[in-house]
Structure 1
Amino acid sequence: MKIPILMYHQIDEPPPRGTALRGLIVAPSSFALQMRMLRLMGYKGLSMRDLEPYLRGDQQGKVVGITFDDGYQNNLVHALPTLKANGFTATCYGVSSMVGGTNAWDAGKVAQKPLMTQQDWLAWHGAGMDVGSHTQTHANLTELSNEAAQQQIVQSKDELQHVLGAEVRHFCYPYGWFKPEHEDMVRAAGYVTATSTRRGRAQAGDNPYALNRIMVARATNPLQFAAKIMTRYEDCRQ
């Protein structure tokens, strides 16, 4: 059975037209509608932690993974209440050295937005949500030496676990870029999965360290959203 893993970034009111990367900001009302649609279609929205048995093939069911990249504070403010209202869980991938900071890796390209503070992360995790790693600095691993890439992967896990006081089991490649050696590093660091930006739905038996995801953008309309979940729409666009 196919398992769609949704990829979001920010849940917030979109900025004016012409703003760089505006498509990555999904309005809270759109997100609420999408989560309601999932529930009405009979799907259960799950964090990567809760998705583990389905990815292994130990369990089957109508499930959808829900992930947020970067750890924006607006995920806590706008997404968390909607997730809880629908009985869903989700994973938010944090940039460990920028807890309480902003999306500095985008400086000069897009507006700076606050990232979750330590208290925010504790609130997210305490609400039953999952926390994953997105490296220490949102690094493009393909531009780093193997030693530097390994530090980004290993240290981010340690730092986030220190923030949470709980295990961090899942990883996400910044920008979606990685090489086979990075998969090996993620595995050796003790992560259970790693997600990419490659399009398509996942299924049991897929390489857990190169999982496809489905991008949900500002302009994704309800019909497209349903097609991404229930049909081969995304699978054909790998």
Structure 2
Amino acid sequence: MNIPILMYHQIDLPPARGTPLRGLVVSPGSFARQMSFLKYLGYQGMSMRDLEPYLKGARQRRVVGITFDDGYQNNVRNALPILKKHGFTATCYAVSNMIGGVNSWDRDIGVEQKPLMTTQDWRTWLQAGMDVGSHTRTHADLTQLKSPDAFDQIAESKQELENSLGCEVRHFCYPYGRFDSTHRQMAQQAGYITATTTQRGRVQSGDDPYTLPRILVARAAHLGLFAVKIMTGYDSRRDK
């Protein structure tokens, strides 16, 4: 097994040069070309839910996971039509207490505040065959919390999303990529099937399902680099 799981954040027009975290905003045109390229290469883009049997080794196919962190409204506006065009699915990790709000966790570092998906946006996402994962209740840095509070962020976000959206939430993502072995155990205890990180690399046979690596797709990634990231161990080498 050798499965790339792509990590996106926003699909929108990038902000002005010098804006913090500008690299995490991929233009709709770039995203469209990347998805077309995956289709051309024979990959099937899949949500974490649809990827489950491939992660377990029960099925074999040229597949790639597609994930979005935070739940920006521009994901449903700009990414969803492109995903549907190619017959792909994707998982978007929601911050359960901030549905319909903005990315206020980034305010102090000067990141532009953008609208997050509303409840209706999430229903549109689900009705299109997409998947919802959890990204805690408030986009919390778990490593800065006491254990009971960290578990509340992990477990209650699952319940809140399931109650508000009427769907099963099986997958989790650590905010900021920050976690330790205790948080890994909490994710498993809360009933998630997988948890994704910001560690770079493709999923290999035997990888812990609660510390899955991903491949960051940044604003500046041209198609050549995108292909290298998908088809080689480029990201694994960069993380060493």
TM-score by length of 1: 0.99
Aligned to 1:45: 45
Alignment of 1:159-198 (within 5 A): 159-198=160-199
Aligned to 2:85: 85
* Code of the aligned partner of 2:44: K
Alignment of 1:58-69 (within 5 A): 58-69=58-69
Give CA-to-partner distance per residue, 1:156-188, whole Å, 9 cap, x none. Answer: 000110121111000000000100010110001
Instruction: Give the CA deviation at 1:204.
Output: 3.4
Instruction: Give the CA deviation at 1:237.
Output: 2.1
Secondary structure of 1:107's partner?
Answer: helix
Instruction: Give the CA deviation at 1:56.
Output: 0.5
The whole-number CA distance in structure 1 between the counterparts of 2:149 and 2:210 is 19
- 1:45–1:64 Cα contact (<8 Å) kept: yes
* Code of the aligned partner of 2:63: V
Aligned to 1:220: 221
The whole-number CA distance in structure 1 between the counterparts of 2:4 and 2:164 is 29
Secondary structure of 1:234's partner?
Answer: helix
Question: Is there any run of 5+ residues in structure 1 with no aligned partner, and where?
Answer: none
The whole-number CA distance in structure 2 between the counterparts of 1:206 and 1:121 is 30
> What is the aligned length?
238
Instruction: Give the CA deviation at 1:18.
Output: 1.0
Question: Is there any run of 5+ residues in structure 2 with no aligned partner, and where?
Answer: none
Instruction: Give the CA deviation at 1:235.
Output: 2.0
Aligned to 1:28: 28
The whole-number CA distance in structure 2 between the counterparts of 1:92 and 1:204 is 24
Aligned to 2:139: 138
TM-score by length of 2: 0.98
Aligned to 1:116: 117
* Code of the aligned partner of 1:30: S
Alignment of 1:3-14 (within 5 A): 3-14=3-14
Aligned-residue RMSD, C-alpha = 0.7
- 1:55–1:205 Cα contact (<8 Å) kept: no
- 1:198–1:212 Cα contact (<8 Å) kept: yes
Q: Once superposed, which parts of structure 1, at least 4 consecutive aligned residues long, lie more than 6 Å away?
A: none
* Code of the aligned partner of 1:48: M
* Code of the aligned partner of 1:40: Y
The whole-number CA distance in structure 2 between the counterparts of 1:163 and 1:47 is 20
Instruction: State the identity %.
Output: 64
Instruction: Give the CA deviation at 1:232.
Output: 1.4
Aligned to 1:55: 55
* Code of the aligned partner of 2:25: I
Secondary structure of 2:234's partner?
Answer: coil
- 1:56–1:205 Cα contact (<8 Å) kept: no
Alignment of 1:141-156 (within 5 A): 141-156=142-157
